[in-house]
Amino acid sequence: MSEIHNVVIIGSGPAAHTAAVYAARAELSPVLYEGFMAGGIAAGGQLTTTTEVENYPGFPEGISGPELMDKMRAQSTRFGTKIITETIAKVDFSERPFKLWPEHKLDKDPILAKSVIISTGATAKTLDIPGKDNYWQRGISACAVCDGALPIFRDVPLAVIGGGDSAAEEATYLTKYGSTVYVVHRRDELRASAIMAKRLVENPKVEMVWNSVIESAGGDDKQIRNITVKNVNDGSSKTLDVGGLFFAIGHKPNTDPFVGQIDLDEEGYIKTVPGTARTNIEGVYAAGDVQDKKYRQAITAAGSGCMAALEAERWLSEQD
């Protein structure tokens, strides 16, 4: 019979590695499946696509996203976490021990686990426009709260794509830094809640670009310098000079392998008992952006990873 692991952690971001550190120090011998380009993103999650991280405690001069994740990974392995670079594609939580299958081993014997911590994160939605790949993290971002305070975005015009609460929140946040914030929305009214919409359109630093979609992004060798938007009513196009572009059109939680195995909300996020990392399956926990659609920050993900590991440790001790 295959070895039954105490804790299997699925994921590779701050939540996963924090859970791994706590579980390893509790001598649970955790195994972490970090994925191989899961969701099109390298191990380390969304932080690997971020240049400077200035809001993670302990790094007063800032740190690059990839370097931060390298340090977290090194800390996990230092305490004895076994890290496997495979993507978990299928699970069976119907009975214990839980069963998990890597993407390229679906016809092999499953991995067995007494408990599971899911921290697979979420992927920011973007638009595949010309120039996006050229200027990604060179003025183009999908997280204003993460990147908006960086020097390149200060005192220059910025653009936000979207019309929901996320777009309203991010655009309002960016008014602290940008000289003007253009909000490009394909309709003539926002989808955001009434109070958020009112606060946005009444902000003197916000300029609404109604009935419009983004067509392309342009710039120089250093960063984005402009975007082209098209009016959906008359087909006319115009160029806006901007020093930053932020997509705020939502996130997709990376929960495809767990559909039908665990309770998800209408958007696909894993449901957890408020104030805990517990799911509806006893022994299965969720941490980080896979269950958090409100904060979505590295530090909150790390905190929930700690919660998941402590709860798993406590639950496992009660099973003996």
pLDDT in tens, 16-49: 999 999 999 999 999 999 987 666 666 777 787 6
DSSP single-letter state for residue 271? P
Closest to 289 measured CA to CA, from 254, 313, 258, 250: 254
| Beta strand ranges found along 12-147 (DSSP E) | 31-33, 52-53, 63-64, 82-84, 88-92, 98-102, 111-119, 122-124, 140-141
**What is the pLDDT, as a whole number, of residue 165?**
87
Q: Cα-atom radius of gyration of the chain, to the nearest Å?
A: 21
Cα distances (angstroms) measured from residue 87 to each of 41, 133, 166, 269: 11, 25, 29, 19
pLDDT, tens only, 166-213: 899 899 999 999 999 999 999 999 988 899 899 999 999 999 999 999
Both tokens of residue 22? 């706590």
Both tokens of residue 36? 């191989």
**Residues 237 and 246 sit within 8 Å (Cβ to Cβ):** no
The label of the residue with tokens 């009016």 reads 231
**Residues 140 and 161 sit within 8 Å (Cβ to Cβ):** no
Catalytic machinery residues:
143, 146-147
What is the reported pTM?
0.84
3-state secondary structure of 27: coil
**What is the pLDDT, as a whole number, of residue 159?**
98
**Residues 270 and 292 sit within 8 Å (Cβ to Cβ):** no
Torsion of CA 123, 127, 130, 135, to 10 degrees: -40
Architecture of the domain whose range is 126-247:
3-Layer(bba) Sandwich (3.50)
CA atoms within 13 A on the CB side of 51: 14
Residue type, 223: Q
Dist. CA 217–CA 227, nearest whole Å: 4
**What is the pLDDT, as a whole number, of residue 45?**
76
Fold of the 4-123+251-319 domain: FAD/NAD(P)-binding domain (3.50.50)
Dist. CA 43–CA 270, nearest whole Å: 21
pLDDT tens-place values along the chain, 320 residues long = 579 999 999 999 999 999 999 999 999 999 999 987 666 666 777 787 676 888 899 999 999 888 999 999 999 999 999 999 999 999 999 999 999 999 989 999 999 999 999 999 998 889 999 999 999 989 999 988 888 989 999 999 999 999 998 899 899 999 999 999 999 999 999 988 899 899 999 999 999 999 999 999 999 999 999 999 999 999 999 999 999 999 999 889 999 999 999 999 999 999 999 999 999 999 999 999 999 988 889 999 999 999 999 999 999 999 86
3-state secondary structure of 286: strand
3-state secondary structure of 197: helix
Dist. CA 246–CA 140, nearest whole Å: 6
How many helices (H) and strands (E) are present in the chain, helices listed first?
7, 19
**What is the pLDDT, as a whole number, of residue 143?**
87
Indicate the domain borders of the chain: 4-123+251-319, 126-247
Dist. CA 178–CA 244, nearest whole Å: 9
